[in-house]
A and B are shown apart, each in its own frame.
Chain A
Amino acid sequence: MKTGSLLQATVLIGAIALATASFAQKKYDPGATDTEIKIGSIMPYSGPASAYGQIGKLHMAYFQKINDEGGINGRKIKLLSVDDGYSPPKAVEMARRLVEQDEVLFIFQSLGTPSNSAIHKYMNAKKVPHLFVATGATKWGDPKDFPWTMGWQPNYQTEGRIYAKDILATRPNAKIAVLYQNDDYGKDLLKGLKDGLGDKAGRLIVAEATYEVSDPTVDSQIVSLKGSGADVLINIATPKFAALAIRKVHDIGWKPVHYLNNVSASVGSVLVPAGLDKSVGLITVAYQKDALDTQWANDPGMKEFVAFMAKYLPDGKLSDALNAYGYSVAQTLVQVFKQCGNDLTRANIMRQAASLKDFQLPLLLPGIKINTSPTDFYPIESLQLQRFDGKQWVLFGKVIE
């Protein structure tokens, strides 16, 4: 009898302890349960920017891998990835559907500056995390006014400032011509460039030309820019237009120092169409390892990525840098989940996303780390310059903050 009551008491205390423990730890907002974390994503699977839809496909594949390995803390990740066709009104419709009807925990990597701008206020009014948005605009790192939105990749202004630094260091008397897409993205990068050049901007920039995404070619713009007598060209264009510009610059016999923005640094989808021989000497910034670059052939992180691609996304091309990008972002999210533990509330998701410390990813260049804080919503802020040698990008210089 005595032993019996002791046993009973132990069991009872144990049960109470367990119950309170789980009560203290497990906290959920809509979308999270003991077995599943449901998140949403908005991608341009159709429409003019549909090349980026590849990122969404990669996320699906990566979370499949995580789920096959047992999920995170026993929870499977369910990603509802929907198509907005790169159309802002459609993005609003999709965000509302994901938040109000599907009740996802948060929206992850919604793509495109226009689409994200359209849902920016909605997400913050609803207090639903709008996490690691897939755009390089600078406005996503504003924790004071928009505490529920965070970007991921280096923003365009940082990139523009780095080009400015390099120009000032290597050719202080450059005559700069700028080709840019006539929208927020183009103007954002241009602003970074001008900020970086400081009071010299007015003197050094001798010509600017814009294009619209509906323009068939940028031939006329390139001819105008060449006519300005510039010896440095800053190419702020999306893949197709970047390729058109690279080819035209070569064909009209212009030989400027040609900076190409990172958005279009893909060898497979930009430089190959433009012509590899015409791309020699291009300069861009990088923060990711290039899967085609032989110097990473024996890199453990790269090997893991190649194996992952072969198993989970066999029809995705390694040459497409968007795959490596999606892979790294998905890994960052997994880290956030790990840090969250059993507290899967929306507030904690943002808290943990804003406390990534010196987090390193297998596909980021050595020396580039992810750092966030409650006042720093820019995960990646350092970049390294690289030059195209006709076959691949070759890094040079140091990692620049």
Chain B
Amino acid sequence: MDAFIAQVLSGLVTGGIYASVALALVMIYQATHLVNFAQGELAMFCTYLAWTMLDAGFPYWAAFAATIALAFVCGVVIERVVIRPIGESSVLAVVVVFIGLLVIFNSLAGWIFTYTVKPFPSPFPAEPLFGNHYVSSHGIGAIGVTLVVLALLYAFFRFTSLGLAMRAAAQNPVSARLVGIRVGWTRALGWGLAAAVGSIAGMMVAPTVYLDPNMMAGILLYAFAAALVGGIDNPWGAVAGGFLVGVLENLLGAYVIGTELKLTVALVLIVGVLVIRPSGLFGRVTVKRV
């Protein structure tokens, strides 16, 4: 029983990791209706920026805030410089650019910061809370941060006119432009926000899995699964999906299918959801008028 509880709790912690990255995917999807494969690498790169600042002696929260700001700028710049010129030529072209960005950021990080694994500090206490042996304080703290980000994102899309404009621009750019929304800039803003959310995810993930240029490679796949399971247009769904994937993966790996097939769980989930319920568990089923 003790082992079972430990599996569930450690699944929740890894699930929190997936959820935080999945949130960034939801963000970019809400703003552009595209899935950005470079989201993970962008987050990793921003985490290195944070690491550089911390290494130079900045206090943690100052570096944290500065990184989010830098990530936002970075996202906007990428949209303006790289994505915008391609415009709406074709989805494939954009996907190729995403993959290009993925490789570029990965190599750039390796080149600048080397591939050696680096410990990344956590803002939370080093010793587990209440002396428990199941989860580290950072694990709990990171889940808390993810939930805060989730609440902010939800509020942004639900209660602000900017969030509404962004959703409109993504769903129907032509009509949105007609009602006076500056579609180009809402997209750039979406990129900036997604990068900022990603950078928070990166800084929360790095203390758990260590910082290296390939930190996000495996996580991104699970985050996709999480976002798809929950519904990629729904922040709540993505977070729930993240926890679900984390716990499911642990329990199935430990008790049912063995550790060799853990990754397969994520892949089966992706395919299964796409086949059976493409909008995800909590996603809105889109109905198109023909």
Q: Which of B46-54, B160-168, B252-260 contacts A (4 or more CB under 8 A)?
A: B252-260
Residues facing A in B169-203 (CB within 8 A) are none
Q: Which of B73-81, B212-220, B277-285 contacts A (4 or more CB under 8 A)?
A: B212-220
Q: How far is the CA of A210 from the CA of B214 in the complex (A)?
A: 20
A216 close to B218 (CB less than 8 A) = yes
A211 close to B115 (CB less than 8 A) = no
- Size category of the B interface is 35 or more
CB distance from B45 to the nearest CB of A (A): 15
Q: How far is the CA of A56 from the CA of B260 in the complex (A)?
A: 32
- B contact residues around A217 at 8 Å (CB): 10, 14, 208-209
B208 close to A220 (CB less than 8 A) = no
Total number of residue pairs linking A and B with CB closer than 8 Å: 102
- B contact residues around A216 at 8 Å (CB): 14, 17, 205, 208-209, 218-219, 222
B117 close to A51 (CB less than 8 A) = yes
CB distance from B180 to the nearest CB of A (A): 44
- A contact residues around B219 at 8 Å (CB): 216
Q: Which of B1-9, B62-70, B83-91, B231-239 contacts A (4 or more CB under 8 A)?
A: B1-9
- Residue of B at shortest CB range from A254? B133
CB distance from A381 to the nearest CB of B (A): 29
Q: How far is the CA of A219 from the CA of B249 in the complex (A)?
A: 12
Apart from the given pairs A217-B208, A273-B118, 5 other A-B contacts in the complex at a CB distance below 8 Å:
A51-B212, A212-B260, A212-B263, A220-B249, A240-B117
A252 close to B263 (CB less than 8 A) = no
- A contact residues around B119 at 8 Å (CB): 272-273
Choose from B117, B208, B262 the contact partner of A215 (Cβ within 8 Å).
B262
Q: How far is the CA of A240 from the CA of B119 in the complex (A)?
A: 10
A215 close to B118 (CB less than 8 A) = no
A227 close to B208 (CB less than 8 A) = no
Counting CB contacts under 8 A, is B24 at the interface?
no
Binding site of A, secondary structure by majority: helix, strand, loop or mixed? helix
Counting CB contacts under 8 A, is A173 at the interface?
no
* Given A217-B14, A243-B117: A273 in contact with B210 (beta carbons within 8 A): yes
Q: Report which residue of B13, B117, B218, B253 has the largest number of chain A beta carbons within 10 angstroms of its beta carbon.
A: B117
A214 close to B117 (CB less than 8 A) = no
User: Please, how many residues of chain A have a CB less than 8 angstroms from a CB on the other chain?
Assistant: 36
- Residue of A at shortest CB range from B251? A220
Q: Report which residue of B11, B118, B214, B221 has the largest number of chain A beta carbons within 10 angstroms of its beta carbon.
A: B214
B218 close to A220 (CB less than 8 A) = no
Counting CB contacts under 8 A, is B134 at the interface?
yes
Counting CB contacts under 8 A, is A392 at the interface?
no
CB distance from A58 to the nearest CB of B (A): 14
Q: How far is the CA of A181 from the CA of B117 in the complex (A)?
A: 18
Counting CB contacts under 8 A, is B123 at the interface?
no
CB distance from A122 to the nearest CB of B (A): 27
CB distance from B122 to the nearest CB of A (A): 12
- Residue of B at shortest CB range from A238? B117
CB distance from B102 to the nearest CB of A (A): 13
Residues facing A in B107-129 (CB within 8 A) are 107, 110, 114-119, 128
* Given A216-B218, A243-B117, A251-B128: A209 in contact with B259 (beta carbons within 8 A): yes
Q: How far is the CA of A220 from the CA of B17 in the complex (A)?
A: 14
The 10 closest A-B pairs by CB, nearest first: A227-B3, A214-B218, A50-B115, A219-B10, A220-B250, A273-B119, A223-B6, A253-B133, A51-B115, A210-B259
- Residue of B at shortest CB range from A44? B115
Counting CB contacts under 8 A, is B136 at the interface?
yes
Q: How far is the CA of A320 from the CA of B116 in the complex (A)?
A: 9
Counting CB contacts under 8 A, is A31 at the interface?
no
B213 close to A227 (CB less than 8 A) = no
Residues facing B in A252-288 (CB within 8 A) are 252-253, 268-270, 272-273
B214 close to A251 (CB less than 8 A) = no
- B contact residues around A25 at 8 Å (CB): none
A215 close to B10 (CB less than 8 A) = no
- Residue of A at shortest CB range from B110? A50
B110 close to A214 (CB less than 8 A) = no
Q: How far is the CA of A222 from the CA of B134 in the complex (A)?
A: 12
Counting CB contacts under 8 A, is A335 at the interface?
no
A48 close to B254 (CB less than 8 A) = no
Residues facing B in A212-232 (CB within 8 A) are 212-217, 219-221, 223-224, 226-227
Counting CB contacts under 8 A, is A141 at the interface?
no
Q: How far is the CA of A51 from the CA of B114 in the complex (A)?
A: 7
B218 close to A244 (CB less than 8 A) = no
Choose from A50, A227, A240, A273 the contact partner of B2 (Cβ within 8 Å).
A227
Counting CB contacts under 8 A, is A46 at the interface?
yes
B110 close to A220 (CB less than 8 A) = no
* Given A223-B254, A224-B3: A51 in contact with B134 (beta carbons within 8 A): no
